[in-house]
Amino acid sequence: MSSKNSQLREKSPSESHAEVIVRMFPSDANPAGNVFGGEILKHIDMVAGIVAQRHSQSNAVTVSMDSVNFLKPVFVGNVLKLNARINYVHNSSMEIEVKAEAEDIVTGIRTLTGTAFVTFVALDKNGKPTHVPKLALKTDEDRTKFEEGKLRMEKRLKKRQK
Ligand SMILES: CC(C)(COP(=O)(O)OP(=O)(O)OC[C@H]1O[C@@H](n2cnc3c(N)ncnc32)[C@H](O)[C@@H]1OP(=O)(O)O)[C@@H](O)C(=O)NCCC(=O)NCCS
């Protein structure tokens, strides 16, 4: 693996935090008329990728998506707000947590509609996994999420098929 972790500056989760807001159109719908889950997954992957690349400052690819929960439907016309933060890093891997909230723009009502964990791996210019900066854990939330992320990553890797 390229680049020594110790040479990289530690970065806090807030430095890479990302929020994406997108309007849902009829072209985003499933045959029943609500927003297609795959469309939401695309946005989850995209916002998580922004966080992973901000943190690693390198190319980063999705290796796993898990605990994807669609809690409530998202309707055509809703504004979908995706919030993403980095919870945990190991050598080249990063766990990103995404929360999706739908806003009815007329009533102003906002609903948590989905959650997911996405794992990215940072790659060097040769496409090989490369070290990412360690996380500077500044708040109690950062520390809790790091420990929870570590446990989830251990479980994830146990289930991993090569
Ligand atoms: C990313 C990739 C190059 C890693 O190759 P690999 O042979 O699995 O590499 P390694 O076994 O050395 O693992 C590298 C890191 O990825 C992590 N990793 C790999 N698969 C994982 C998974 N399913 N879940 C969580 N972490 C995973 C490893 O734990 C390791 O993390 P660490 O460096 O922090 O310890 C390879 O899996 C790949 O190219 N995948 C396709 C990625 C892609 O194209 N995504 C877009 C959507 S298809």
Compute, in angstroms, the gap from residue 59 CA to the centroid of ligand 1. Answer: 13
pTM of the model: 0.95
Compute, in angstroms, the gap from residue 24 CA to the centroid of ligand 1. Answer: 32
**Tens digit of pLDDT for each residue in 113-139?**
999 999 999 999 999 999 999 999 999
**Tens digit of pLDDT for each residue in 63-72?**
999 999 999 9
Phi-psi region of 108 (alpha: psi -120 to 50; beta: other; left: phi over 0): left
Single-letter amino acid, residue 138: K
pLDDT band at 150 (very low <50, low <70, confident <90, very high): very high
Backbone angles phi, psi at 81, to 5 degrees: -110, 120
Compute, in angstroms, the gap from residue 121 CA to the centroid of ligand 1. Answer: 6
What sections of the chain are H helices per DSSP? 13-16, 37-56, 140-159
> Which is more confident, 1 or 93?
93
Pocket, ligand 1, Cβ cutoff 6 A: 61-64, 90-93, 119, 121, 129, 156-157, 160
Q: Average pLDDT of the chain?
A: 96
What's the confidence (pLDDT) of residue 162? 76
**pLDDT of residue 6 exceeding 60:** no
Least trusted range by pLDDT, from 3-7, 31-35, 40-44, 62-66: 3-7
Backbone angles phi, psi at 49, to 5 degrees: -65, -35
**Tens digit of pLDDT for each residue in 75-94?**
999 999 999 999 999 999 99
Identify the three-state secondary structure at position 146.
Answer: helix
**Domain residue ranges in the chain:** 5-159
Q: In sequence order, what E strands does the chain have?
A: 18-23, 59-70, 79-89, 93-103, 110-123
The CATH number that domain 5-159 falls under is 3.10.129.10
Compute, in angstroms, the gap from residue 158 CA to the centroid of ligand 1. Answer: 13
